[in-house]
């Protein structure tokens, strides 16, 4: 029994190493999440085929690969999701600001230091990237936002200043 558990454990470790290497190579973002619809069934099928081959060669490993066909799909799903989250945290920041009649979402792209602000009025109406987009500058621990229409905001210590006619508004970091 110990040998069977150890063998399954080794197969799972090999899966994790192979999956993580592959995921690091492709560096997934949310736009390729649909890729899982192709990869997960293929992974399941590959393990079932290996189990069939093992049945012909060495029957004692067949059950390991049948179990692994389910575990590997779960592992790939989890590792892929974590990689997407890791990539998002590395490439962007996101905050929510709640005003009297709307929720504003500010998204900063770290790679090119740009941002956009979208507005959700709460009644299903959504107003996306309009005039509130521009460039971000980082000085010390303060983020300065300069929009294309020459408006200026800045975030410091959990507050946004000069935003939409308010002097100081609490801001919630989402990502």
Record the pTM: 0.72
CB 94 within 8 A of CB 85: no
| 86 and 103 share one domain | no
Same domain as 59, residue 115: no
Last residue of a domain, one of 62, 90, 118: 90
In whole angstroms, give the CA distance from residue 132 to residue 83: 30
Give the lowest-confidence range in 10-24, 38-52, 57-71, 143-157: 143-157
Does 46 share its domain with 117? no
The total domain count for the chain is 2
143 and 125: one domain?
A: yes
For residues 64 and 142, state if they share a domain: no
Expressed as residue numbers, the domain containing 114 is 99-173
Q: Which of 31, 134, 49, 137 is nearest to 88 (CA)?
A: 31
Question: Which pLDDT tens digit goes with each residue over 38-79?
Answer: 999 999 999 999 999 989 998 888 888 899 999 999 999 999
């Amino acid at each position: 029994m110990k040998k069977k558990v150890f063998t399954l454990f080794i197969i799972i470790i090999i899966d994790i190493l192979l999956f993580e290497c592959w995921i690091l190579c492709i560096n997934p973002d949310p736009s390729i999440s649909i890729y899982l619809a192709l990869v997960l069934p293929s992974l399941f099928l590959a393990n079932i085929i290996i189990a069939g081959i093992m049945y012909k060669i060495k029957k004692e490993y067949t059950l390991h690969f049948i179990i692994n066909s389910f575990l590997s799909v779960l592992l790939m799903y989890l590792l892929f999701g974590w990689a997407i989250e890791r990539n998002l945290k590395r490439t962007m920041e996101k905050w929510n600001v709640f005003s009297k009649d709307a929720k504003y979402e500010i998204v900063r792209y770290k790679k090119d230091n740009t941002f956009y602000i979208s507005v959700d009025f709460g009644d299903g109406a959504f107003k996306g990237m309009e005039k509130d987009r521009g460039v971000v500058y980082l000085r010390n621990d303060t983020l300065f936002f300069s929009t294309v229409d020459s408006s200026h905001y800045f975030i410091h210590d959990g507050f946004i200043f000069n935003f939409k006619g308010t002097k100081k508004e609490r801001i919630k970091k989402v990502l």
